[in-house]
């Protein structure tokens, strides 16, 4: 029996970056943008707020680009403060590298298992799909989805009763499948 699980974001992740106003290293993004035009050139930033002092920081999205080279629908989304665009940009490795930031996904995702009727079976084949590239430990997902402790999941892996084509230790952010034999 093949069961499908989905790892879904519930909100935007925290941005990890040092605040210039206080010692905090966590910023909250709420999907607000600032767009500034200089004749034929345009700059755009994603605004983030420090969780410690509330100071605003700007993450560069566009820098000194010719206005005509920017897609009109992107400009509309920037001017409309589209939260979906903020989520896309935070997950873009180019934006993260340019701004020297990392993301903290703690408490910003949930696992949708579609119910617990699969737990009764002797052998369970599960396909895990990620709605967004959220780095999560597969051991944690399996423990949460099957109602087991992480230590129990680790024991099942060592005994060969839990197998997967991907490495189950460490963090993973791509789709994978596993088989659990009880």
Strand, coil or helix: what is 182?
coil
Cβ distance 111 to 144 under 8 Å? yes
pTM: 0.78
3-state secondary structure 103-114: EECCCCEEEECC
What burial letters (b/e) apply to 77-97, b meaning 16+ CB within 10 Å? bbeebbeebbbebbbeeebbe
* CA–CA separation, 5 and 152 (whole Å): 20
As a whole number of angstroms, the distance between CA 166 and CA 21 comes to: 42
What is the pLDDT tens value at each position of the chain, 182 positions in all? Answer: 678 999 999 999 999 999 998 989 999 998 999 999 988 999 999 999 999 999 999 999 999 999 999 999 999 999 999 999 999 999 999 999 999 999 999 989 999 988 766 666 788 899 999 998 899 999 999 999 988 899 999 999 999 999 999 998 889 889 999 999 87
CA angle in degrees (0–180, nearest 5) for 88-91-93:
120
User: Which residues share a beta bridge with 105?
Assistant: none
């Amino acid at each position: 029996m093949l069961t499908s699980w989905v790892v879904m974001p519930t909100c935007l992740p925290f941005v990890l970056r040092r605040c210039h106003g206080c010692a905090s290293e966590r910023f909250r993004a709420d999907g607000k943008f600032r767009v500034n035009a200089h004749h034929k050139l345009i700059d755009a930033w994603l605004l983030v707020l420090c969780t410690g002092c509330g100071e605003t920081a700007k993450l560069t999205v566009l820098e000194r680009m010719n206005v005509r080279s920017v897609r009109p629908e992107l400009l509309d989304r920037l001017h409309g403060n589209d939260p979906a665009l903020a989520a896309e940009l935070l997950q873009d490795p180019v934006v993260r590298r340019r701004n020297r930031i990392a993301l903290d996904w703690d408490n910003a995702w949930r696992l949708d298992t579609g119910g617990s009727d699969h737990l009764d079976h002797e052998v369970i084949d599960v396909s895990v799909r990620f709605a967004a590239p959220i780095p999560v430990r597969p051991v944690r997902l399996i423990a949460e989805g099957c109602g087991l402790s992480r230590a129990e999941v680790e024991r099942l892996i060592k005994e060969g009763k839990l197998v997967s084509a991907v490495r189950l230790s460490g963090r993973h952010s791509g789709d994978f499948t596993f088989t659990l034999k009880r």
